[in-house]
Chains A and B, each alone.
Chain A
Amino acid sequence: MVISVLEIPIILRVIGSALLCLGAFAALVSAIGFHRFKNFYLRLHAATIGSIWGSVYPLVGSAILAITVEELGVYRWFVAGASIVAAFIVLILAPAGSHALARGVHKAKVARVKPCIADKLDPELCG
């Protein structure tokens, strides 16, 4: 089976649209999870879904989708490159930021560790 050159934009558009749909679903799940979870440390899980599945994958998908949009002219490569760079920045900085925030909240005793078996860092916060 040989793929002709004319079919390449269609394939790229399908891949980009699939990544965008995945990202929209993950963003909605993350926003609902923020309301359903009871605790700051449990909400970190919803934040992870929203940052990686809800932002990195759709940014890559929109970069792939922007390549096929002919109306943007030469600037479609600009849009695609900026999207890839933004996806890489979010991939590196989002886990580091939420880790620093969780460490600060735990050290400042702002939120209690609610479903708790053992907390060796600070036993007062347990339970």
Chain B
Amino acid sequence: MELILIVMFIYAIAILLLSIIALKGPTIGDQVLAIDVLTYISLVLFTLLSIYLKQPLLIVLVIPLAFWVYSLDIYIAKYLEHGDLGA
């Protein structure tokens, strides 16, 4: 259980470093890419939190979040390519 705390701390540092790029990144591509990795890493953080706090319902968050960030990728790519979403 102490190892889970240490791993969660390292993940929190990684999320902080990535959120700097997500807020001020040079172009919109860098921002969306940083939000991608930030979300994939926070999936692991939610899973470890549900194991550490012994709350199984926290794991329900994980799967919709993975689909959400894929849809963000597709929306931004389509917006950059065609100029509007068309939907």
Among A28, A31, A47, A55, max chain B CB count under 10 A is at A31
Please name the residue on chain A nearest to B73 by beta carbon.
Answer: A97
Q: Counting CB contacts under 8 A, is A111 at the interface?
A: yes
Min CB–CB distance A99 → chain B (angstroms): 9
Alpha-carbon gap, A90 to B70, bound state (A):
9
Q: Are A79 and B40 in contact (CB under 8 A)?
A: no
Please name the residue on chain A nearest to B33 by beta carbon.
Answer: A47
Chain B residues near A58 (CB, 8 Å)? Answer: 7, 44, 47
Q: Are A40 and B44 in contact (CB under 8 A)?
A: no
With A97-B69, A110-B27 as given contacts, are A31 and B13 in contact (CB-CB < 8 Å)?
yes
With A101-B33, A101-B73 as given contacts, are A40 and B27 in contact (CB-CB < 8 Å)?
yes
Alpha-carbon gap, A93 to B4, bound state (A):
27
Q: Are A72 and B56 in contact (CB under 8 A)?
A: yes
Interface residues on A, range: 35 or more
Q: Are A90 and B59 in contact (CB under 8 A)?
A: no
Q: Are B80 and A107 in contact (CB under 8 A)?
A: yes
Q: What are the 10 A-B residue pairs with the smallest beta carbon separation, nearest first?
A: A104-B77, A97-B73, A75-B56, A50-B37, A31-B17, A104-B80, A55-B40, A108-B80, A31-B14, A105-B29
Q: Can you report 12 A-B residue pairs in the complex whose CB atoms are below 8 A from each other?
A: A20-B48, A40-B33, A43-B30, A55-B40, A58-B44, A58-B47, A97-B73, A104-B80, A105-B27, A110-B28, A110-B29, A111-B30
B residues lining the A interface (CB < 8 Å): 3-4, 6-7, 10-11, 13-15, 17-18, 20-21, 26-30, 32-34, 36-37, 40-41, 43-44, 47-48, 50-51, 54, 56, 59-60, 62-63, 66-67, 69-70, 73-74, 76-81
